[in-house]
Amino acid sequence: MANRVLLADDDRAIRESLVRALELEGYRVSEVGDGAEALAIARAEEFDVLIVDVMMPGVDGLGVCRVLRAGGDRTPVLMLTARVETADRVAGLDAGADDYLPKPFELDELLARLRALLRRSADPGEQAQRVLRLAGLAVDTGARRVWWRDTEVVLSKTEFDLLELLVRNAGIVLDRGTIHQRIWGYEFGPESKNLAVYIGYLRRKLDSAGADELIHTVRGVGYVVRPA
């Protein structure tokens, strides 16, 4: 069955162009022009992935992500943004987006990112139904939920996938290229801060639950999870 995509962008020309391209790739696409419409249809119907523009009238893309995540919706979100500063990308990730793509973008890259998001959102029944434990951390790979002792840590899909990968390889330093391939399905350029941004966001969430100094940076190589 074709994957369902919800496209939210107030630029009609961009919407029409993307709808044509996505339908040619076999996706079933629903399109809306503002954040309020996006929230309404996302709550009423099921989608495999959302493509959400940051700058929209009324409820912007950040607001859409925040509301959906607060309601427990974990549908993967690819955020489109004309803002390219690191702080703006961090704001999108903090709001709950799983990936971001700066405008203007190449269609091939957008399609590649969609494929990567969909691969990572495969049927959870195919995943190992067990709980990974490390010190006071518990990662339920079936329910895709995380606890530090008695406190639940609410993560986006990408954050969960990243933490699960690190915990499954606890004590092993994973290089950035390996993480890029395992989490996103392709390797970012050497100047990309994408992984560092997600690591920072994940650290802040774990720190707020009391699990500080769990993720360690190995300078020039990558990251490793081990108890402090």
Domains 4-120 and 125-225 share a fold: no
Q: How far is residue 147's CA from residue 209's CA, in Å, rounded to a whole number?
A: 8
Domain ranges of the chain: 4-120, 125-225
Q: How far is residue 170's CA from residue 33's CA, in Å, rounded to a whole number?
A: 44
pLDDT the model gives residue 111:
93
CATH numeric code, 125-225: 1.10.10.10
pTM > 0.75: yes or no = no
> pLDDT by residue for the chain (228 residues), tens digit each?
689 999 999 999 999 999 999 999 999 999 999 999 999 999 899 999 999 999 998 899 999 998 988 887 889 999 998 876 667 677 777 788 888 888 888 999 999 989 988 887 765 544 444 788 898 999 988 778 899 998 999 998 889 989 999 998 989 999 988 898 888 776 666 667 788 999 999 999 999 999 988 999 999 899 999 886
End-to-end CA gap in the chain: 46
CATH numeric code, 4-120: 3.40.50.2300
For 159, residues 6+ apart whose C-beta sits below 8 A from its C-beta are 198, 201, 202, 205
User: For 36-51, what is each residue's pLDDT tens digit?
Assistant: 999 999 989 999 999 9
User: For 144-190, what is each residue's pLDDT tens digit?
Assistant: 889 999 899 999 888 998 999 999 898 999 998 889 888 877 666 66
pLDDT the model gives residue 41:
94
CA distances from 87 to 51, 78, 83, 198, 215 (A): 20, 17, 9, 13, 22
Give the phi and the psi of residue 218 in degrees, each rounded to 5. -105, 105
